[in-house]
Amino acid sequence: MRKNMTASEWKARINRFALAFAAALLAAAQGALAAPALAAPGPVFSDRTFIEAVKRVRPSVVHIRVTLRQDSSESLMDVFGRGKTPSFDFGSPSTGPQTSVGAGVIISDNGYILTNQHIVKKAEEIRVKLHTGEEFEAKLNGADEKTDIALLKISTKVKLIPAKLGNSDTVEVGEWVLAIGSPFGLSHSASVGIISAKGRDLRQGPYDNYIQTDTAINPGNSGGPLANSRGEVIGINTVIYTRGLASKNQGVGFAVPINQAKPVIDDLLHKGYPIRGRLGVSINEVPSKTGKKLGLARFEGARLATVIRGGPAHKAGLERGDIVVEFDGKRVIVWQTLPRVVARARPGTEADVKFYRGESLRTVRVRIGSRPERPEKARTQITNTLGLEIKEITPRLASRFTLNVESGLVVVAVKSGGPAERSGVRAGDEVVKINHTAVKTLSAFRKMLRGLEGEDSALFLLRRRGSNLYAAIRFHQ
């Protein structure tokens, strides 16, 4: 470096340095602006996240072993879709009562256990085993077929650890979850996956609102918990989707949301049956042109088709043709949403209902009515000549009676002491032919029944567990 520089040379050098420094600052600023914003930090997971979650949930899970009545072909895993549910054989002789397994969740320290209704529907005896190995007889305290929820009760001095119930309304698609149950009889087994979807309607009941998960769920997981990474129960595992003859996990399982079960639990505890909220209306979907005119999303809202005179909706001023878009702060995403959220409302409480009348958005306050749903009495009302009840096969009936068919007719009930029972007909038998004539629909069966007037007997060709057999039903003895 030169030591003897003129003033003008020093000034020029300083200016060049200042300009370079300013350019560097500008470049740094532009780079900072161009850099992507950092995402908000999410849940922190480690190797112990699910270890700790399983430790919290597992002590609250029970293994359920059910001895079914001898006249029952009930399966303990409600399999949706085509396929055959595998039978469970845990040492019971083939000539003895059928035995199968499921799972449940302890929800109170005084012995109440939450499980699926389809597990215990035809139970002659229910046994539950804790994670520590103690086994107890359980009694059915109450059940709700429409949400597939049942409440059991055991009496013990053993200290029970109730599960912590979470909030299924706030779960998000992509959230990590775990399942604990008894797949294929392997009690207290754990598996992990994510929430795949919410609000699934499988068309199996009026309150279908399932959580879908890819967590491994297999026959025997029914009634067990679906829990989040904090060990909070957000659902009760209920159904899997299968294809073909394989009844196994294919990454598509469904659970009843725990928030749907909570109001039912209280009713089952005190009444033994559910008491749902009631508006006193019938509904249908909003016409697409009307929805567009009102600025609604596709399928949003529920149109009131009828309003029952004197019912809660009528008293609040709702009318036929009104379009309900929100109930008690909950948006009616599709028209089927309305009966689900109304059913969860407690009778006697009040809720705000937002609706369109014409193009005017209004709000009324409705006092919720009551819809008790007492369990049906035993089917003694079968009055036809044969003493049996026959239905067309649906996915639910195929699962219920372990059928490997998608269509046809099945015997769903047999009158005690009636002609069909005396001839050996059982619930779950497929009806193939009557008097050598194929019958595949209810209308064909009814026509055949009318043709039997004046006859003394009918020859049924039945299929039971893959084997054909004949039953000569004599109804004039």
370 classed as catalytic: no
Query: CA 281, CA 335: separation in Å to the nearest integer?
Result: 13
Distance of CA 473 to the CA centre of its chain: 39
CA dist., res. 161 & res. 71, Å (int): 36
Query: Among 75, 191, 196, 222, which one carries the catalytic annotation?
Result: 222
Distance CA 449, CA 434 (A): 9
Residue 302 · residue 335 · CB < 8 Å: yes
**247 given a catalytic annotation:** no
Q: Which long-range contacts (CB under 8 A, 24 or more apart) does 155-159 make?
A: 155/111, 156/111, 158/130, 158/132, 158/134, 159/109
Number of helices (H), then strands (E), belonging to the chain: the values are: 10, 28
- Computed over its alpha carbons, how large is the radius of gyration of the chain? 31
What's the residue count for the chain? Answer: 477
148 is catalytic: yes
> From the candidates 118, 189, 208, 214, which is the catalytic residue?
118
Q: Which of 144, 148, 267, 429 is catalytic?
A: 148
Which helix (H) or strand (E) element contains residue 410? Answer: strand 409-414
Burial of 440 (0-12, 13-18, 19+ CB in 10 A): middle
Q: What is the DSSP string of 97-153?
A: --EEEEEEEE-STTSEEEE-HHHHTTEEEEEEE-TTS-EEEEEEEEEETTTTEEEEE
Q: What are phi and psi of 340, to 5 degrees?
A: -70, -45
**8 A C-beta contact, residue 192 and residue 50:** yes
What value, to the nearest 5°, has the Cα angle with vertex 429 and ends 425 and 474? 25
Question: How far apart, in whole angstroms, are the C-alpha atoms of residue 171 and residue 115?
Answer: 21
Token pair for residue 374? 């007492």
Cα–Cα distance for residue pair 211/174, rounded to 1 Å: 12
Helices 258-270, 337-344: axis angle to 10 degrees equals 40
From residue 475, how far is each of 40, 55, 383, 453 by CA, in Å? Answer: 74, 60, 12, 11
What residues form DSSP beta bridges with 144?
Answer: 149
Q: Using CA atoms, how far apart are residues 187 and 181, in angstroms rounded to an integer?
A: 6
What DSSP letter does each residue of 180-208 carry, written as one string? EE-GGG-TTEEEEEEEEEEEE--SSSTT-
Q: Which helix (H) or strand (E) holds 343?
A: helix 337-344
Catalytic residues: 118, 148, 222
